[in-house]
Chain A
């Protein structure tokens, strides 16, 4: 598909998701609370969108990933939260 066809297919959906992200950040601004590593990671990942280099999806996912390589001593939870807490502090 050419760029025009892809825009016809996905532009409105992507526009809607972009506004959702903007509204989400506004909503957080209006609320009180301490700093949170998820928001920091989110803002760092957002920077990847502004680069014109390819593989933005890969870079966003990598920015939100645990960068370490050693197994952790023990699993204390089963859940993942979508950002690496190790970056906090």
Chain B
């Protein structure tokens, strides 16, 4: 079995996780820029983080033969301070030509505030000006439905944005249709308590066809499971899906979306 982990915060994980992922068949890992669990105090903190994502972490992954890619942004949890966000966004173009950068992400909303929305629009403009793919984080729990609607409105309002180049992550049963009907890709995040279980992800795949859906572990410094995708593959198998279908969902689908960025290359023969 082979799979691509399209969303994992590896800077928060131990080397045992790299080893377990590669042993389970991981062919590439993609790391969106994320909140550290505390607010960074200055743009310099983000500069260092972007260096970590584009220099140090790929070297760490390479020790396990695993290609590492990343997405850059200031995440929605730190978007209330618009002037800090502006400074960080101004710094991002310097990093866009680094060879493991896939695009702008994970941008989006957290509490659906006016400033978060302003910063989201700034990121969307940045992506449009630099012709970058977009990875969107949708809010948690009670904020997800409203946030997803607001995010889709922003993306649809910008005529430069092509929905097939945007992935809207952390969809659940109440948001997946909005995302797919808009022509966007949807990501299902497999978390033990919040977001989505493997059984529910398979339900959504069976109902919506899985043409523009991927699954991810979104493993980070919180309660999360780095091997969530191989576990979901087992769930698909239990539900009677063929090896070809499983390969399409956990390998070909992310590859198809991510290959829209010329930096993304996986070595396995198809």
Contact = CB atoms under 8 A, between A and B. Distances in A.
Nearest to B140: A80
B142 A84 contact: yes
Interface in A37-66: 55, 57-58, 61-62, 64-66
A59 B249 CA distance: 26
A65 B142 contact: yes
Prevailing SS type, chain B contact patch: helix
A4 interface: no
B111 interface: yes
Contacts of A61: 144-145, 172-174
B142 A83 contact: yes
Interface string B24-37: 00000000000100
Interface stretch (B88-96, B112-120, B156-164, B208-216): B112-120
Interface residues of A, number: 29
Prevailing SS type, chain A contact patch: loop
A57 B141 CA distance: 13
A82 B142 CA distance: 5
Given A61-B173, A66-B146, A78-B77, A71 B112 contact: yes
A10 interface: yes
B113 A66 contact: no
B142 A74 contact: no
Contact of A58 (B112, B174, B238): B174
Most central of B145, B200, B203 by chain A CB within 10 Å: B145
Contacts of A55: 173
B126 interface: no
Given A55-B173, A65-B174, A75 B142 contact: no
B141 A78 contact: no
14 contacts: A9-B238, A9-B239, A10-B199, A55-B173, A57-B174, A64-B142, A65-B143, A65-B174, A66-B145, A69-B146, A71-B117, A75-B116, A76-B111, A80-B143
Interface of A: 1, 5, 9-10, 55, 57-58, 61-62, 64-69, 71-84
